[in-house]
Amino acid sequence: MKKILVTGALGQIGSELVVKMREIYGAENVVATDIRPHETDEYQPGPYEIVDVTDAKGMFEVAKKYQVDAIIHLAALLSATAEAKPLLAWNLNMGGLVNALEVARELRCQLFSPSSIGAFGPSTPKERTPQDTIQRPTTMYGVNKVAGELLCDYYYHKFGVDTRGVRFPGLISYVTPPGGGTTDYAVEIYYEAIRRGRYTSYIAEGTYLDMMYMPDALQAVISLMEADSSKLIHRNAFNVTAMSVAPEDIAAAIKRHIPEFELDFDVDPVRQEIAESWPDSLDTSAAKAEWGFQATYDLEKMTADMLAKLRSKMLEKVN
């Protein structure tokens, strides 16, 4: 990658990935785009463009203007929001991906598009879910992700577009607030631990889900995009994860830093049903073998860093 366009740059992943990529590739070589103006100087110096990913012509013109050779396509509605607005989710998630793929085909760009553990369903093996297995999701978000995986494979085999992607687990970050995902409890719990010393989880006790700290997620994107294409067999849907945890596991890790922290439960049936349709843990052997994936943060290391960074962030806001 030399010149990179990022869609959804103001979202949970994009807001951090743009910063990291600008440190690596140079600020002028990473074009941040989103559907709305950014409200701070977070992306300065460096180009920023307003792009609606459902506008194929607009996306193409921005990509051509900057002569990009890689597209990181992150713009999407997340799981819980997509379930509440399924038609909007289909139009945005699938329409935006088709447009990004067409731009990549016409300009001969690499394209990264993330899939998710949402691509799996209730009939998928839940323990050490294989890289290649049955995928019958029961949510619109999951349907979008399976269709997206297949579509990216199609563009690679049919048109030679260098498509790449991972199946992200729940992502935990101190930078961007939760944005409508089923696994967002794992972000909210840290905020509330510091603010109130307690948290009410909408996900039930004993519900295990895969998670990853954002620094590992960002490195996974960059490592995969820089990997030798000839060694990639799966290309568009690599299982990646760092830990499999339930709400009470995160609470226990927090209590080692905040002994008075308390966790209780008020289960949201919609998000609980989604969570129960997803794997408990993923087999990441394909990602490790084909491009050297390796997570560096476990639950304890992540918790210590999250609490420290959030305390600093909240202190800055007060001052």
The residues that are catalytic are 141
- Alpha helices, DSSP H only, in the chain? 14-25, 56-65, 79-84, 86-89, 95-107, 140-159, 185-195, 214-226, 247-255, 269-276, 285-291, 299-318
Angle at 139 between CA 134 and CA 142, to 5 degrees: 55
The burial of 177, by beta-carbon neighbours within 10 Å (0-12 exposed, 13-18 middle, 19 or more buried), is given as exposed
How far apart are the two ends of the chain, measured CA to CA in Å? 39
Measured between alpha carbons, how far is 196 from 198 in angstroms, rounded to an integer? 5
- Residue 195: both structure tokens together: 């603010």
How far apart, in whole angstroms, are the C-alpha atoms of residue 244 and residue 253? 13
Structure-token pair, residue 90: 């289909």
What does the chain come to in residues? 319
